[in-house]
């Protein structure tokens, strides 16, 4: 049986010599391959400097090209980053329409909250620590799909975000951190539709492995149903 194809939204990046690039992080690539998937980069279609322009709406042609890329996939991983873009929001919308497994990480989770509304992220202090594997604890809400996957009501995580979402949009909140910060969201009626504010791809602990395994397993199920 072939491995499921996992679409990853490309992140804009400016190289040391000032050139624009679209990339995915090595930690994302490794996490997908090591857990049984095949990474596939979903590239935006608009011709612009992404780092400076995040509010250009998609044309019908843009959407058609994105649809063709998304439809190749068996699941979508929305990665972290500093900003969200219209193409990110569209990818989330399309995944929801298709009930395609969707895992959002850090800004990817915040994009899921924002894909169909006008949420504006709020800047926070104290959750930006690149030096340590674990930054703070989160409380996972019993009865949620995330709780069923992880099997614990409290875990230590490596959230390193500088913004938070004011609400979860049309998602159910499945974990919070101190200060009532939303740390995980989900749609329990979907095959797999979960966003986490932390980075399970960057740690090798049991909760992270369980989240990634559950996501890839859901992608295999979706692949076999196509």
> pTM score > 0.75 for this model?
yes
- Nearest to 11, CA basis, from 25, 27, 26, 22: 22
User: What CATH number is associated with residue 85?
Assistant: 3.40.50.880
Per-residue pLDDT tens over the stretch 10-48:
988 888 998 888 899 999 999 999 999 999 999 998 876
Name the least confident of 17-31, 115-129, 138-152, 175-189: 115-129
CA angle 142, 166, 66 (to 5 degrees): 90
- Neighbouring C-beta atoms of residue 82, cutoff 10 Å: 12
Q: What is the mean pLDDT of residues 91-99?
A: 95
Name the least confident of 30-34, 82-86, 191-195, 218-222: 82-86
- How many domains does the chain contain in total? 1
Buried b (16+ CB within 10 A) or exposed e, 180-194: ebbbbbbbeebbbbb
């Amino acid at each position: 049986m072939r491995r499921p194809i996992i679409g990853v939204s490309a992140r804009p990046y400016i190289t040391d010599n000032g050139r624009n690039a679209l990339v995915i992080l090595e930690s994302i690539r490794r996490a997908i391959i090591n857990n049984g998937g095949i990474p596939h980069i979903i590239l935006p279609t608009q011709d612009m400097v992404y780092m400076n322009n995040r509010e250009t709406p998609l044309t019908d042609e843009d959407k058609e090209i994105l649809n063709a890329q998304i439809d190749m996939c068996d699941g979508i991983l929305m990665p972290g980053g500093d900003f969200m873009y219209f193409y990110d929001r569209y990818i989330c919308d399309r995944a929801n329409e298709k009930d395609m497994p969707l895992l959002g990480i850090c800004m990817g989770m915040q994009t899921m909250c924002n894909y169909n509304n006008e949420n504006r992220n709020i800047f926070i202090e104290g959750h930006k620590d690149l030096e340590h594997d674990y930054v703070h604890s989160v409380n996972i809400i019993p009865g949620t799909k995330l709780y069923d996957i992880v099997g614990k009501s409290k875990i230590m995580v490596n959230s390193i975000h500088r913004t938070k979402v004011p609400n979860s949009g049309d998602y159910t909140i499945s974990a919070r951190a101190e200060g009532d910060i939303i740390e995980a969201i989900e749609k329990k009626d979907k095959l797999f539709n979960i966003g986490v504010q932390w980075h399970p791809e960057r740690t090798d602990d049991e909760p992270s492995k369980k989240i990634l395994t559950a996501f890839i397993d859901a992608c295999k199920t979706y692949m076999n149903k196509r």
